[in-house]
Amino acid sequence: DAGITQSPRHKVTETGTPVTLRCHQTENHRYMYWYRQDPGHGLRLIHYSYGVKDTDKGEVSDGYSVSRSKTEDFLLTLESATSSQTSVYFCAIQGERVGETQYFGPGTRLLVL
């Protein structure tokens, strides 16, 4: 398995509270991604990073922010959690070689009450 960990693995929080999810990699890969997975929607890209301090929005970025201060860590923050952000969140990493695929972390289950 690619060296990707996510923390926490499970979290229950209340509406309106900020939440930060962490993705940590040991592969030194340049590209990192945050997805959410909901029934009937597959995986949808939230934000991604193409280098330290270089990030951009994905398909469903409203209500989320990210930061990447070092290669190995990519943080996803829900600024004020809402029940619609209850989901499973996956981080993925990808190297720069042509044809390199994305490898996914174990996921974080977030429940917003």
Partner 1 sequence: EDKVVQSPLSLVVHEGDTVTLNCSYEVTNFRSLLWYKQEKKAPTFLFMLTSSGIEKKSGRLSSILDKKELFSILNITATQTGDSAVYLCAVAPAGFAGGTSYGKLTFGQGTILTVHP
Least distance in angstroms from the C-beta of 80 to partner 1: 26
Q: Which of residues 8-47 bind partner 1 (CB under 8 A)?
A: 30-31, 33, 35, 40-45
- Is the CB of 75 or the CB of 104 nearer to partner 1? 104
Tell me the residue length of the chain.
Answer: 113
Instruction: Determine contact, residues 13/82, Cβ cutoff 8 Å.
Output: no
Residue 112 φ/ψ, nearest 5 degrees: -110, 115
Least distance in angstroms from the C-beta of 17 to partner 1: 26
Per CB under 8 A, does 62 bind partner 1? Answer: no
- Closest by CA to 90, choosing from 48, 52, 43, 58, is 43
